[in-house]
Each structure stands twice: as C-alpha cells, then as structure tokens.
Amino acid sequence: MFALLLQVIANGLLIGSIYGLAALGLTLVWGIMDVVNLAHGEFILVGAYLCYWLFAGWGISPLVSFALSIPLGVLFGWLVHVVLIRQVVGKPALTTLLLTFGLSILLNNLMLNIFTPDVRMIRWSQQSILVGPLVLPSTRLIAFGIVLLLTAALYLFLERTYPGRGIRALMQDAEAAAALGVNTARILLLSFVIGTIFAVVAGALVSVVLPFEPASALPLAIVAFVVVVVGGLGRPLGAMLGGILVGTVESFTGTFISQAYAPATVSFLLILFLLVRPAGLFGTTVR
C-alpha cells in the first residue's frame, strides 16, 4: 500500500508540473494585464500539434520540437498581442472575455479542419526508470526536467533582469510602476509573449504524455484556471505548487476512485478554494 501511495504521488507530481507550466502563462497574463484569456487551452494545443506534426510528418525528435516551440511561442504571442490583445487592454472585462472567446472558437475550428477530431499522442521513448518501488516513465521525467529548467529561468529573469523587475512592479502596482518610468506597453507585450511561450511549451510536453484532440482545449483551460485560483493570481510559484496539487488530486482520484471522476474532483477543488480561500495559497486577490 505504501508503494502504491508513493507511485500515486509521483504520478501527480510529474503531470502536475506540466499543469503548473501551462498555468504560469495564464497567471502572468491575467495577473499583470487583467486579461482573462479564454483561448488559453487552444494556445496549449498549438504546441501539442506543432510537436506532433514535426514528429509524424518529418520524424523530428520531440526534444527538438520542445526547443522550437519557444520561438514559435514568441512569434505567436507577439502576433496575437499586436493584432488583438493590445486593443482591449484596460477595457471592461466583458470586452476581453468576448474577444478571447472568439479567438478560442476560431483557433479550435482551425484545428478541427486541419487536424480533424482524431485523438493523437506521440509514442516516443516508451522506456521507464525504476527508482525503488516507483516506475517512472522516461517521457514524464524528461518533461519534468524541462519544466524545472523553464521555471528556474523564469525565476532568474524576474529576479535578475530589468524587464523582469518591471513585470514584478506591474504585478504590485501598475500606476506606481508607470510613474517611476517603467515602459508599461513593452512590459505588457513581454508578459503576454512569455505567457504564450509557457503555454506552447506546455502543449509540446502534453503531446508526449497525454492523448489530445481539439476538444481537449476546454479541459486543459479549465485545469489551468483551477491551478491559477489554487496558487494565487499573478504568483508564478503558486502556479507551480497549484499545478502539483491539482495533479496529485487527479492522480489519487483516478487510482482510488475512478478516472471518470477526476474532472469532477478538480472542479470541486476550485469550488472549495473559492469558498474557503479565494485568494489562493499565496494570498493574491483574485479579480
């Protein structure tokens, strides 16, 4: 029984880290720009389909695709921000919700027409590593390592660079940051691009550990929103810890109850935090 509990926790940690990476992008955009991106699930699938297309069509290793997803995230995030998001920053919440909802429908229909509704998953590196009683799939371990690297890179960026400090200043007080000379327009663009990068990379990791299809955008977006609420809005560390918590809850539910109840359990976790601790684990007020 103890070995089973360890395995369940390990599974939750590995998949939860990917959830946390996906939520990092959402919490940055929502916490800094006050833009609720309802197309976040489709942003994740952009990375998943990129990785799948390169692997199935060109035989390119997912490791290369993980690296290629970063410049794709930069280009995609910059384009979406310049064409759409920049126009609604500071506008009423309903305006941003309707815009990103429309973007979600557009992207999802494009994916349905281009890739069809078929369920896909990259079958790559099927070996597992034994660590005592634990059986750890190599793909999930690789994904976990990439998540750790990107999280550390984000931490160093936010702590050690001028743009990173600008992002942190906007998180705390946008008006004061602007008064002190922070170029808010550039910081908002940078925040959205970074958020998109994390979403696209998370999607590339999803493609090797989970089956996906265009309809997966909604459950992936819901999990990201739950993680943001659990971890606290605008808190990168909270997003990672929230992702691990959500992944662990999913793992326990799927193992000891039924995998069919995992989405309901995640939804219950969202309701519980909204009722008991709406500010999340790290105390940031959810707007």
In a domain, 235, yes or no: no
Look-up: residue for tokens 């993980």? 66
In a domain, 160, yes or no: yes
For 102-128, how does the pLDDT look when each residue is reduced to its tens digit (9 = 90+)? 999 999 999 999 999 999 999 877 788
In a domain, 254, yes or no: no
Taking the whole predicted model, whether its pTM rises above 0.75 is answered as: yes
* Structural domain range at position 181: 2-215
Within 10 angstroms of residue 129's Cβ, the number of other Cβ atoms is 11
In a domain, 109, yes or no: yes
**Who wins on pLDDT, 96 or 131?**
96
In a domain, 169, yes or no: yes
Domain count, the chain: 1
Average pLDDT over residues 197-216: 94
In a domain, 220, yes or no: no
In a domain, 261, yes or no: no
Angle at 209 between CA 57 and CA 243, to 5 degrees: 135
Asked if 249 and 230 touch (Cβ cutoff 8 Å), the reply is: no
In a domain, 198, yes or no: yes
